[in-house]
Amino acid sequence: MVDVRTLEAWAPRVLSILRIVAALIFMLHGTQKLLGFPPSDHMPPIMSLFWIAGLLELVGGALLLIGLFTRPVAFLLSGEMAFAYFIGHAPQNLFPSLNGGDAAILYCFVFLYLVFAGPGPWSVDASRDRA
Residue 98 in any domain: the answer is: yes
Residue 48 in any domain: the answer is: no
Residue 46 in any domain: the answer is: no
Residue 90 in any domain: the answer is: yes
Q: For 33-58, write each residue's pLDDT tens digit.
A: 999 999 988 899 999 999 999 999 99
Q: What is the pLDDT of residue 130?
A: 84
Please say if the pLDDT value at position 131 is more than 80. no
Count up the domains in the chain and report the number.
1
Range of the domain at 96: 4-22+62-130
Cβ distance 54 to 77 under 8 Å? Answer: no
Residue whose C-alpha is closest to residue 84's, from 118, 111, 65: 111
Residue 49 in any domain: the answer is: no
pTM > 0.85: yes or no: yes
Residue 50 in any domain: the answer is: no
Q: For 61-109, write each residue's pLDDT tens digit.
A: 999 999 999 999 999 999 999 999 999 999 999 899 999 999 999 999 9
